[in-house]
Every structure is written in C-alpha cells, then in structure tokens.
A = this chain, B = another copy of it.
Amino acid sequence: MRLVSELLDTAFNAESIAVVGASNSPAASGYYYMRYFLEYGYPGRIYPVNPRYEEVLGIKAYPSVKDIPEKVDYVICCIPAQGVPELLYDCAEKGVKIMHLFTARMRETGSEEVMELEEKIARLAKELNIRFLGPNCMGIYYPKRKIAFGFDFPLEPGKLGMLSQSGGLATIFTRIAAQRGLRFSKVISYGNATDISEADLFEYLLRDEETEVIAAYIEGTTSGRKLYEVLKKVTSVKPVIILKAGRTKAGARAASSHTASISGSTNIWEVGIREAGAIEVKTIDEMLDILTAFYFLGPVSGKRVGVFGGSGGQSVISADEWGEEGFELTPLPSKIQNYIRQNIPPMWWKWLINPVDISILPIDDFSSLKNFKNFIKMMMESPDFDLIAYNVTTCSPLPLELETANLSQCTNIVLDALEGETKPVVAIVDSGYLGIEDLEDQRWRFLAGEKSHLIGAGIPVYPSMCRAAKAIRKLIDYYQSPGNILKVGGKFL
C-alpha cells in the first residue's frame, strides 16, 4: 500500500484528472472546477464525467470513469453522496488511487442517514485501497500545475504551504495573502477529514521541498496524539502557524455543523500547539501578519529598531507601538549623528532622534540626494540596529502632487540604498478601508502603488507599525526559542 504522501504527490502532479459530475450549469461545482482548469491553463488532460452531457465546456464528456480511454491519476467527485459508492467501484476498476470528495452535506448536517453513508464510503474506500480528501472540501490549489479551486488565485508559485479544514477560509485567505506578497507552494482544503487527516497533511508538507512555511486552519481532530507527534517533527524543520477555530461554545457548535468536527478543549489545544513548537494565532489578520514576517524576513537577531518616515505624530505613535512590543528605539549612533551634523543646518541635526521624522528633514536639506541615500545606508549598516522600519504615509498638508512626488522619490532612494544590504527591513504603508469612490482617488492609488512597489522589491509591508511590531516580535521570540534555529527563506540564523 502506497503512502499518503506519495498519493498526494500523484494528485498534485496528475497528468490526467477526471471531474465526476462535470456540468455546463454555472452554479454547479462540476462546472466551476472544469472552468478553472481551462481558465488557468492546467497542462494535463481533463476528463469530464457525466452521462447527461456529450461535452462539458467544449470538452468530450464520458458517461463513467470506466469509459475514459486513458489512465486517470486523480478524481474530483462533485456528485451527490448517494452516488459515491458506485463511483468508488468504478475508480477501483480504473486503477485510481487518490480522490477528492467535494461532495458535501454529509456528517456535518447531523442527519443520521448521511452519517451512515459517510461511514460506508470510508469503509468501501479502504477495502478498495483508495485514499481520499474530504468529503465537504475544496481540494487542492497548486499554482505550479495551474490547479485552483477559485477565481483570483495567483498563478506564481511560492513557498507557503497551507492546510485548511474550511474551503471558504482557504479561498478568501489565498486572495488576501496574495496581496501581502505571499505565494503558495500548495494549499489543501480537507473538510471532514474522514480519511486523509490534518496529521497526514502536515507530514506531507514537512517532506514537501517546495514548502518552507506552513499555515493551518483547523476546526477539530479525531487523533490529537498523532497530530501532536507529527507537529513536533514539522516544527523542528519549518515554522508552523495555526489558527484553531471552534474555541468557544458557539464556535464549537458551528464547527460541528460545518465539518462535523469535535473542537476539543481550547486549553489542551493551546498547550499542545505551544508544546509542539507551533505558533497559535486567533485571527486571520494576525496569521497574515506573522506569515508575512516569516515569509520575507528570515531570522531577526534582536529588538533594536531604527524607524524613519512619516511625521511628528506618526513618530510618537511608532515609538509607542514598537516600544510596547518590547522593541528598543536605539538613539541614533554617533557616526550617523556626525554625518548629519556635516550635512544639514544645526537646528535640524540636534533635533533628529529615532524615529527619524522625515518631515523635519526634507531631502533638500541634504546637499544632495546622494547624502540622503548615504544616511539610509548608514542606518542599514549600523550595528546598533537589528531591524529598520520605513513608514510611508500621506499625512502631510502638502498638495497631493507634491506629497506623492516626495514620497516616491524617498522610496526610490530607500530601495536604492538597500541594494546589497542584508539587514531586515519592514515597510509600513497606510491603507484605507476603501469604498467604491476611493478606488479612483489618487491618494489611495498612490499608496497602493507604493505597497506593490515595496513588496515587489522583497520588503514585507504592514498596514500599521503596531501590526508589524506584534508580528516581528513573534518571529524573534520564535528564533530565540531553543530548538527553533532553522532554515527560513533560504537563510540560516
């Protein structure tokens, strides 16, 4: 019997996929799986299966899996639960070893009749030597092979692996993570986990060379001990961030009606996650923030931060928000002070502290832009800072055209100064909670452009100092824990 890991590799790298229940009706799952394969440009062969159609989306359909003339590596099952046992026999006959049961409305409904059916399916699959994801899940997203279960999924592969008990969560998460510059190696939505479990998937991502950081959304487990043992192995090699849902009474009730999960004791989960060396988060924003730090930064050696950008009030707020997370706003080192003294008028240089309020240090006050670049470079190279934070905010009273010209010049100089530097850098770019009219507004368009520009240059970007500080603190704490001295993002501590 082949290992689950090998079978999952077969699924991800399938040369041929059958979509059972393929449909031309746009609201049907058997339609949209087909459509996404075609739109994203899946390079393998697709076989729609549905006795009611000659063709689905222009591709020849087959009445049954058995009728497909060639080998089938992976099956996506979109038919109602009642038809699954027969499909299992057909698949066995066809030599299929791994399937995805999108099919839902099973145990999670609480209906006894379908609970029995779900058990029957599990038994039968075992007898027939077929492993399956789900039921009640979205299956796999694998950008490298253009396999995706929703629109607006990025096609560039990345190094973040994710397992998610909820398909909806995986869907929305993939999209908002993409906006932070995160790209995925593999995402697996695994639903009721009737056969392949979260422990199997952690084990798989542990071995997967394309995955360097792991995110997980879990509602419950039926094998806590196994999960704990696997997690311990994984976290000694790759950072794992877990959002455990179903922490409250109402949450547990909702989890039961969503994926038939037994949420378990919140306290045991908290202790288990911590003891296994993983990082627990409580919200999606927190997960995104921490993943952004791990994805872009690698190890940060300490908590001495140099901050620049913004204006007066922003500097005060920055100082508080870093300070309250345990960071130290080191005074500007004397080498930098001397340099400033030689290049700008006395009133200014006496006045400059960390955070460096750029609004009192107009670029023009340096004798040339080169001097401003040198100043940034000295911040980057100073042994007094473990981390540099750059604040991009349109809070000045200047007319928009001047403000944006200044800021984009500043960003260009900063990126230029970063060339060849290795010190961790983080950027904070203001973001609004945009309404429809704001999408045409030049200010928000400018800020969205700055954010994209910085992420494109490999800088992690956060919407506030506070969120950056909280996330990077977790990163530092992680690397300062014994046993977590690991490879991340290709760097060693």
Contacts and interface: CB of A to CB of B under 8 A. Distances in A.
B316 A355 contact: no
A262 to B, nearest CB: 13
Contact of A324 (B282, B317, B328, B452): B282
Nearest to A449: B436
The 9 closest A-B pairs by CB, nearest first: A166-B313, A248-B323, A258-B312, A169-B313, A250-B329, A168-B395, A251-B320, A168-B311, A250-B319
A142 to B, nearest CB: 16
Contact of A451 (B257, B318, B433): B433
Interface string A274-317: 00000000111100000000000000000000000011111111
A192 to B, nearest CB: 11
Contact of A357 (B258, B321, B323): B258
10 contacts: A149-B397, A167-B397, A168-B313, A168-B395, A169-B313, A175-B443, A251-B320, A258-B357, A435-B449, A436-B449
Interface of A is mostly: helix
A443 B176 CA distance: 11
A3 interface: no
A399 interface: yes
Contacts of A322: 250
A26 B406 CA distance: 13
A348 to B, nearest CB: 8
Interface string A435-464: 111110101110011011001000001011
Contacts of A434: 179, 431, 434, 444, 448, 451
Contact of A165 (B170, B313, B320, B394): B313
A331 to B, nearest CB: 9
A97 to B, nearest CB: 25
A382 to B, nearest CB: 17
Given A247-B324, A311-B168, A452-B435, A399 B284 contact: no
B179 A350 contact: no
A166 B316 contact: yes
Nearest to A220: B316
Interface stretch (A103-111, A223-231, A369-377): A103-111
A396 interface: yes
Nearest to A430: B172
Interface stretch (A27-35, A193-201, A202-210, A335-343): A27-35
A461 B433 CA distance: 10
Nearest to A150: B397
A350 B180 CA distance: 40
A316 B168 contact: no
Contact of A152 (B151, B164, B167, B443): B443
B464 A283 contact: yes
Contacts of A439: 439, 444-445, 448
A344 interface: no
A187 B297 CA distance: 40
B27 A466 contact: no
Given A32-B399, A151-B443, 14 more contacts: A27-B398, A27-B402, A110-B350, A111-B347, A167-B397, A168-B395, A171-B395, A175-B443, A248-B320, A250-B323, A253-B353, A254-B316, A431-B434, A439-B439
A349 B438 CA distance: 41
B399 A26 contact: yes
A329 B248 CA distance: 10
A58 interface: no
Nearest to A450: B436
Contacts of A257: 312, 315, 351, 353, 357
A138 B397 contact: yes
Interface string A371-401: 0000000000000000000000111111110
A251 B319 contact: yes
